[in-house]
Structure 1
């Protein structure tokens, strides 16, 4: 049987077993009066899982793991053992090439993990991401080679401003909603993903963190931006999307290319459909041939608003 892949940030498949049990229970119920069911679960070799990002004015970061079996126990020891070590990883902008070395790095909201990053103690051997850049990632691991290309696009979707509005629920006025005004360029085919940070916390994506300009091409529009969520935890539907009065909220707004948009849109849909036996199957569209996961560029803009108490 095919395995599942785990993105270290975020851990989105924590409830996959519950979803599978619902399917199995439904099949057993409707066919119990007819015949026994025998399911042959074929085992497959683990796949390389790539989680690579390259942001404006930052160095690239690539996390490599191996996919886990569908029924594997998702525990800290299992995740630690899934990291791929001693890989050869390079990033090129067609003129320069930098080699990424394996280090233990701190990732906000997750802690210390193994990641491949450039040696910043040698400035001549490392370069930062630039808007409009095109970057090739090459990986050699377990005697196999992989290659993927991403861009840090120009800012076709421009975050003009953000503000907040009070949300009243009966007598409770402690909640607030953050809104954004965005201007889209005249040329179509612009894509974005956003994160929010509350006070000094980590940047987290909303449950639906992506957007495109298919409907709003060439216009200025206003939309609410939901508070980001830790997708390894359950959200309270009564309070999802809201911030609290007194919060300082920072929005990280990222223009991305189509491949990165498609990957995260499908992943958001899969997360939101978990536990629904009637949801359509979701195919995760990665952009690393031969592996699963993504190599994505982010053209980043930050804006902050203080929600008055």
Structure 2
């Protein structure tokens, strides 16, 4: 039989435990992770693109890394782009120096093409880029290139190639799988993959908007090597767009769509595969993903990538 003394001792023990927990809590010091402000990494985005009309000249974007908790203001944006580097690319016939030009200095047609390439809808921020406007660099598939950058008494280099071009067999629109929403459609591409390793990436532009890559924009041909197949593609949305499961990935009937279909170099594929995996698997329980980049040189990160691209225009019919 339990006595009052038992209950009194039980209550006393609970009170003592609560008091000890309070004392321990008051002695606990909050943990603040160290702030790294002096890494001063150079972030490199360099692309060589072949297309039938050679619409995009070789270009290199150089920016500085910054602490995650940095305040973002006018001065921050102004200092983000590196304007005092020497950038050159070798196409096998010797190095060609790229010219630093800010987008406000470019002819409107070239500026609009680069804004589309960068995925920027409006020209709100002064973007400065190293570019081969004179087209002195020979751009062609199955050619190897080297990148050299000199900045802040440091040297960075990388190597890439432009892979063979693999065009689509066809591109067409069909109804959504269940057909419930008759204002939407999906796009289907047909491709004959040649034997041997190939890596693919695609972007979509809708009604004259910028080219946007989907959340998972790259794939290899390990499963479909040397085969012909058809597959539906998703309409890419800008990050932060509200997710609607009823309309996600579909195009609106009447849309004017441009599909940018690219074969990309292996290092280009590895970079985007790891970066997109990291982006799409965030959260408190996700594992850390190391992005695979091909820049060599202390304090340099980023990508020097080659790609062969085709641009396909299609009007989504109102009736399917």
State the TM-score, normalized to the length of structure 1. Answer: 0.81
Tell me how far apart the structure 2 counterparts of residues 214 and 34 of structure 1 sit (CA, whole Å): 57
Matched position secondary structure for 1:206:
coil
Contact 1:100 1:118 in 2 (8 A): yes
Change (3 A) 1:261 1:113: same
Structure 2 unmatched ranges of 5 or more: 1-24, 104-110
Aligned twin of 2:191: 182
Tell me how far apart the structure 2 counterparts of residues 260 and 66 of structure 1 sit (CA, whole Å): 21
Matched, 1:297 2:310: no
Aligned twin of 1:82: 80
Matched, 1:194 2:202: yes
Aligned twin of 2:142: 132
**1:77-122 deviation digits (Å, cap 9, x = unpaired):** 42331111111000111213211111012323423410001242xx
Deviates more, 1:137-146 or 1:70-79: 70-79
Which structure features the higher share of strand residues?
A: 1
Tell me how far apart the structure 1 counterparts of residues 138 and 74 of structure 2 sit (CA, whole Å): 32
Residue of structure 2 aligned with 1:69, choices 54, 62, 67:
67
Tell me how far apart the structure 1 counterparts of residues 210 and 29 of structure 2 sit (CA, whole Å): 49
CA-based RMSD of the aligned residues comes to 2.2
Shift of 1:42: 4.6
Contact 2:91 2:138 in 1 (8 A): no
Structure 1 unmatched ranges of 5 or more: 1-31
Change (3 A) 1:68 1:171: same
Aligned twin of 1:8: none
**1:57-93 deviation digits (Å, cap 9, x = unpaired):** 3421101000110212345542331111111000111
Contact 1:51 1:293 in 2 (8 A): yes
Tell me how far apart the structure 2 counterparts of residues 46 and 235 of structure 1 sit (CA, whole Å): 34
Aligned twin of 1:267: 275
Shift of 1:128: 4.3
Contact 1:168 1:175 in 2 (8 A): no
Tell me how far apart the structure 2 counterparts of residues 266 and 207 of structure 1 sit (CA, whole Å): 12
Contact 1:130 1:152 in 2 (8 A): yes
Which structure features the higher share of helix residues?
A: 2
Q: Which protein has the larger Cα radius of gyration, Structure 1 or Structure 2?
A: 2
Matched position secondary structure for 2:278:
helix
Aligned twin of 1:142: 152
Residue of structure 1 aligned with 2:262, choices 254, 266, 278:
254
Shift of 1:33: 12
Aligned twin of 2:34: 41
Matched position secondary structure for 1:165:
strand
State the TM-score, normalized to the length of structure 2. Answer: 0.78
Aligned twin of 1:4: none
Deviates more, 1:73-82 or 1:192-201: 73-82
Tell me how far apart the structure 2 counterparts of residues 229 and 253 of structure 1 sit (CA, whole Å): 17
Contact 2:35 2:67 in 1 (8 A): no
Change (3 A) 1:48 1:300: same
Aligned 1:159-238 pairs, distance under 5 A? 159-167=168-176, 171-187=180-196, 189-231=197-239, 233-238=240-245
Contact 1:52 1:294 in 2 (8 A): yes
Change (3 A) 1:76 1:243: farther
Matched position secondary structure for 2:272:
helix
Shift of 1:168: 6.5
Contact 1:159 1:180 in 2 (8 A): yes
Contact 2:193 2:224 in 1 (8 A): yes
Tell me how far apart the structure 2 counterparts of residues 266 and 235 of structure 1 sit (CA, whole Å): 24
Contact 1:49 1:66 in 2 (8 A): yes
Tell me how far apart the structure 2 counterparts of residues 59 and 164 of structure 1 sit (CA, whole Å): 31
